[in-house]
Copies of this chain bind each other. A is one copy, B any other.
Amino acid sequence: MPRQVDHEARRRHIAAAVWRLAASGGLEDATIRRVAAEAGVPARQLQYYFGTREDLLLGALELLNRDGEAEARERVAALGPEPEPRDVLRSVLLEFLPLDESRRQRHLVHMAYFVRFMTEDALRDRIRDAPPELEDLIAMLLPEGRRDEADFLLAGTTGLQGQMLLGQLSAERAIELIDRQLDRLFAPMDRPADRGL
């Protein structure tokens, strides 16, 4: 057999080029030739490692998500051995905000894929399976597991994400808004649970 090459590494290298282009100009900028130039490899290599352009975009998205989940898990783990539920929840929510370049680019790329998510059935199915567990997790971390508050909390966080990406909202303000909601939801229970349930 001929030279063995680390496929995973090469795919990741190419995928990173897709991310950069998609984040700055949308999916339409991620053409095969442009991605190849951005990655510094011959265009033919993209064909070899990903196949068609559709496969390239899908593959790049999958790698992005994998990286994102790993990063998120890492940050939650960094909270220590037995973290407070509130801290875990806060960490999970903050994962949705573009607080560093890594997260910013990731969310930017997700936005670029958004329209395709909605119209192309292949993508649509893939996304409709994951998120219920996320809402479940948030509800579990909330005192008394208030589902309505959990759902709106998550929605609010993704809303803040959008405003931050548009430059309408500072990181400090976004975090402050989330902390205010957490203050309320984790408030001492010596009164009738302010209408959240």
Interface set of A (CB-CB < 8 Å, partner B): 22-28, 108, 111-112, 114-119, 124, 127-128, 131, 148-149, 151-160, 162-163, 165-168, 173, 176-177, 180-181, 183-184, 187, 191, 194-196
14 A-B residue pairs with Cβ-Cβ distance under 8 Å, sorted by A, are A24-B119, A26-B27, A28-B28, A108-B115, A111-B115, A118-B165, A118-B166, A151-B173, A155-B155, A155-B156, A155-B162, A155-B163, A162-B162, A184-B196
List the B residue with the shortest CB-CB distance to A119: B24
How far is B158's CA from A168's CA once the two chains are assembled, in angstroms? 14
Contact of A166 among B127, B184, B194 (CB under 8 A): B127
If A183-B195, A187-B195, A194-B194 touch, whether A115 touches B148 (CB-CB below 8 Å) is no
If A180-B148, A195-B183 touch, whether A118 touches B108 (CB-CB below 8 Å) is yes
List the B residue with the shortest CB-CB distance to A181: B152
| A152, B128: Cβ atoms closer than 8 Å | no
| B108, A111: Cβ atoms closer than 8 Å | no
Contact of A26 among B115, B159, B180 (CB under 8 A): B115
For A165, list chain B residues within 8 Å (CB): 114, 118
| A180, B194: Cβ atoms closer than 8 Å | no
List the B residue with the shortest CB-CB distance to A25: B119
